[in-house]
Structure 1
Amino acid sequence: MKKKILLLATIFTHLTCSPSWGSVFIDPEDGYLDASRWLLEHSGFLPVPIIITEPAVGFGGGLALVFMERSTEAPRPGHFAPPTIKGVAAFATDNGSAGGAGFYVRNWDEDRWRYLGVLGVAGMNLNFYGSVGFPGSEDLKMQYSLDGFFLLQDLRRRLGESNWFLGARYLYSDLKATFEGGNLPLPETENRNGGLALLINYDSRDNTLSPLTGVQGELRYYMFSENFGGNLNYNLSAADIQTFWKWNEIWGGAARLLTRWTDGSAPFYAKPYIDLRGIAKQRYQGDIAGSLELELRWRPQPRWQFSAFGGGGKASTENDLFKSSDTADTYGVGLRYLMARLVGFQMGFDVARGPEETVFYIQAGSAWF
């Protein structure tokens, strides 16, 4: 028994301490910890911890395993060659919410084609605050559970050699909503949502994972219909504009303007909501919701990035159009480390304060998706 333990210890020491093993995780360019070679040359995976403090679902955690494969094509001038990304993730929280998903991202033909696929299951325990939930509307608060599975398929094509893409996205979900309390007795509902979105996208970012410069703008128009596999008929639109810039090698910034709106017949859980760090998902909902977030970045060293950010958003009914709705403000700070230099992949965290609470986020890649 002692001989076996000694043998295992010897093997472990050799693997973890030998120069050949250690060099896999050290970037020869700057001597810093880096996972590029492990991911791209050794078919390794990057474990990404999921620490959940999201107010909508409570405290919890999980793990994502991310695999990357190096692109065999030359990168576009001034850009990284996007790797193929695949992985799985699972999580659970203290309010009984849990879920899991698998995902696959691939670019090919010199980044002329881009594909994203996600398949997942979830059982979520959430709160519904009425058509528009703002501070002071807790009398409308109702608890509900949302259980089911979802599928997302996204394919887009670059127009010539430009930064413009045209594409389509298919979204399907089979969900059961059960209300567990509140002032109004509501029946259990089960819906299938099948929607096809037409989209136009502009993308000049230097990196699709953790961009430092460039613009990402997208306009999507969803048509949810029985013709696409669902049993509900409604429309949902979204405009998402993100911009990233550098004043020099140390200082930079980013901004995001996001707006979503629906025709009013969408199910309550699909209503647009204010999407900002520091605010619980679906906390402030309406027929239309918009937000603006600004971020100041400081990179004293190429591996490390510190940020300060703030923003505001509104949610409103279709007829009101933000005229009488209040603004929900947020602010926070963040830290990033360049974990895989060859693909420009950052990891880190954000701490954000919203109108009601402070939220901690673990971030892998950009905070805006």
Structure 2
Amino acid sequence: MRSRMRQVSQLSVQLRLAHVLVACAFLCAGVPALGQSITPLPLPPDQPVSRQGVTDEETQAAAGNDVPDTDVTPDAGEPPKKKSFIKRYFVDEEDGKVDFSNFLAKGGFIPLPIIITEPVVDGGFGLAAVFLTVPKDNPNRVRRRIGAAFKTGNGSTGGGYFEAGYAFDGRLNYRVGIGRGNFRLEAFPAFAPNGIKYTNRYKYGILGSALWSIGDQGWSAGPVFDFRKLSSGLEIAGVPEGIARDFNNTLTTGALGFGVHFDGRNNSLTPTNGINTFVEGKFNRGAFGSDRDYEEYDAHFYGFSRFGSSLHGSLKLEFDGIRGDYPSYFAPAITLRGVQAIRYQGQNVVSTEAELAWQLSNRWTLLAFGGVGATDAGSRRIFKDSGLIAAGGAGFRYRLARKLGLDVGIDIAYGPGGRVFYIQFGHAWALRMD
């Protein structure tokens, strides 16, 4: 379902944090690249993380169990010295640094802010209520239930609910999100290179997946679904018929599809080694309740590797395509840090980005990144071919949850539209990955 999230790259910023936006982003599994700049929720990783060097106490904390309340083992007859709430949950017992591992692994209710820095919606803020259930016999199979709401600087609003978990002894990984919202966006079709503003009002968006594990090597496959009902309004008149028919009406879409996924990352939040890749196809048809017949195809690859004790790099390759009688605002877009969300859309879109990270210490990392993307307008010629679009920048990370492998930080990227600022929880590609 991460591919749904990444389709916060396809609500046309229409709700790409963390695995709907949290629910909102899920709803908007269609806002091209809004997900890049919505801070994902710091949730425990889905994949096993190396336990080398982790103490029994840390293992218990990561599993959601209580850890001893003492700083040191007291002498016989002396009462134990209790830790303060702050020290117990927000200070790492190994190095004494600020750390949220014990707090996040404890389970229960966690309120978290959503910070939106995407220029296309003039930034914004929201709040998510996260409920985590961590099985004591298998901490990797975390059940997540998330309710969230947000509002942006240009008046966009949204809210929803998202749930992810496991069934059948962990063989089935399910994800489902539902939400609604109003999104004020901007598109750049061929006839209006300076952009046109429009609004998509979602009465509902329901999407999800059910992936069944194939063997024990990281492969999974299964159905995906996506159902939405929205009304769209365009703020100008006299547009070409190919665009006009997409607006000032109500549209219902219904899609079923299938995906094949592979996940060999050492951590699903901030991976440093391994591969994550998937291929998916979704088919909107009248038989599924869709007003239009069209198809969406995605093939994504993300690779991570270490180059020694302090250097590690990553590479992404993404292809997104759409065919048939698709609404123009659902066309995929280039997703690179430094490129405005849904600025460059087309029938076929390719994006690639590389990142090199230098680990200064156990807590701090510096990184540099750069990438290129291109769009092909295809047969309908709604959008122009973009040509080669380049962007890049630099950032830093702080390991906020050592036991869970979660980094947070800031990226500053430069692209065709100038400078863009991002707040990152986990890897910058986390919402696009599976």
Q: Which amino acid is the alignment partner of residue 64 of structure 1?
A: A
**Equivalents in 1 of 2:237, 2:273: separation in Å?**
47
Task: Specify the alignment match of 2:198 in structure 1.
Answer: 144
Task: Specify the alignment match of 2:228 in structure 1.
Answer: 173
Maintained 8 Å contact 1:261/1:289: yes
Q: CA RMSD in A?
A: 2.5
Question: Using a 3 Å threshold, how does the CA distance of structure 1 residues 324 and 89 change in structure 2: closer, same or farther?
Answer: closer
**Equivalents in 1 of 2:145, 2:156: separation in Å?**
24
**Equivalents in 1 of 2:168, 2:398: separation in Å?**
30
Task: Specify the alignment match of 2:104 in structure 1.
Answer: 39
Q: Which amino acid is the alignment partner of residue 269 of structure 2?
A: L
What secondary structure, in the 3-state scheme, does the structure 1 residue paired with 2:403 have?
A: helix
Asked if residue 248 in structure 1 is aligned to residue 308 in structure 2, the reply is: yes
- Cα distance, 1:250 vs structure 2: 1.4
Maintained 8 Å contact 2:340/2:417: no
Which whole-Å deviations, capped at 9, do the CAs of 1:22-75 have from their partners, x for residues lacking one? 22222212222222222222524152x333231221132223333433243447
Q: Which amino acid is the alignment partner of residue 353 of structure 1?
A: Y
Maintained 8 Å contact 1:113/1:155: yes
Task: Specify the alignment match of 2:409 in structure 1.
Answer: 348
Q: Which amino acid is the alignment partner of residue 349 of structure 1?
A: I
What secondary structure, in the 3-state scheme, does the structure 1 residue paired with 2:287 have?
A: helix
Q: How does 1:40-189 map to 2 (within 5 A)?
A: 40-41=105-106, 43-45=108-110, 47=112, 49-74=113-138, 81-107=140-166, 111-130=170-189, 137-138=193-194, 141-148=195-202, 149-181=204-236, 184=239, 186=244, 188-189=248-249
What secondary structure, in the 3-state scheme, does the structure 2 residue paired with 1:39 have?
A: helix
Asked if residue 334 in structure 1 is aligned to residue 395 in structure 2, the reply is: yes
Question: Using a 3 Å threshold, how does the CA distance of structure 1 residues 318 and 365 change in structure 2: closer, same or farther?
Answer: same
Return the match for 2:421 from 355, 360, 365: 360
Return the match for 2:272 from 212, 217, 221: 212
Q: How does 1:194-209 map to 2 (within 5 A)?
A: 194-209=254-269
Task: Specify the alignment match of 1:277 in structure 2.
Answer: 337
Task: Specify the alignment match of 1:12 in structure 2.
Answer: none
Which whole-Å deviations, capped at 9, do the CAs of 1:269-294 have from their partners, x for residues lacking one? 11111111222221111111110011
Maintained 8 Å contact 2:126/2:148: yes
Q: Which amino acid is the alignment partner of residue 378 of structure 2?
A: E
Task: Specify the alignment match of 1:259 in structure 2.
Answer: 319
Unaligned runs of 5+ in 1: 1-17, 76-80
Q: How many residue pairs end up in the alignment? A: 341
- Cα distance, 1:89 vs structure 2: 2.4
Question: Using a 3 Å threshold, how does the CA distance of structure 1 residues 234 and 320 change in structure 2: closer, same or farther?
Answer: closer
What secondary structure, in the 3-state scheme, does the structure 2 residue paired with 1:302 have?
A: coil
**Equivalents in 1 of 2:283, 2:342: separation in Å?**
21
Which whole-Å deviations, capped at 9, do the CAs of 1:169-208 have from their partners, x for residues lacking one? 1111111110012652835021111111200011100112
Return the match for 1:291 from 351, 367, 376: 351
Instruction: Report % sequence identity.
Output: 32
Maintained 8 Å contact 1:38/1:44: no
Question: Using a 3 Å threshold, how does the CA distance of structure 1 residues 324 and 169 change in structure 2: closer, same or farther?
Answer: closer
Asked which structure has the greater RCO (Cα within 8 Å, sep 6+), the reply is 2
**Equivalents in 1 of 2:408, 2:256: separation in Å?**
32
**Equivalents in 2 of 1:334, 1:125: separation in Å?**
29
**Equivalents in 2 of 1:132, 1:119: separation in Å?**
34
Asked if residue 27 in structure 1 is aligned to residue 81 in structure 2, the reply is: no
- Cα distance, 1:132 vs structure 2: 9.2
- Cα distance, 1:325 vs structure 2: 4.1
**Equivalents in 2 of 1:132, 1:251: separation in Å?**
46
Q: Which amino acid is the alignment partner of residue 155 of structure 2?
A: G
What secondary structure, in the 3-state scheme, does the structure 2 residue paired with 1:342 have?
A: coil
**Equivalents in 1 of 2:171, 2:146: separation in Å?**
23
**Equivalents in 2 of 1:82, 1:337: separation in Å?**
25
**Equivalents in 1 of 2:218, 2:400: separation in Å?**
27
**Equivalents in 1 of 2:129, 2:398: separation in Å?**
18
Maintained 8 Å contact 1:237/1:261: yes
Which whole-Å deviations, capped at 9, do the CAs of 1:298-320 have from their partners, x for residues lacking one? 11122222211111101112259
Which whole-Å deviations, capped at 9, do the CAs of 1:112-165 have from their partners, x for residues lacking one? 3212222121211111211598xxx22xx2111011121111110111112211
Unaligned runs of 5+ in 2: 1-81
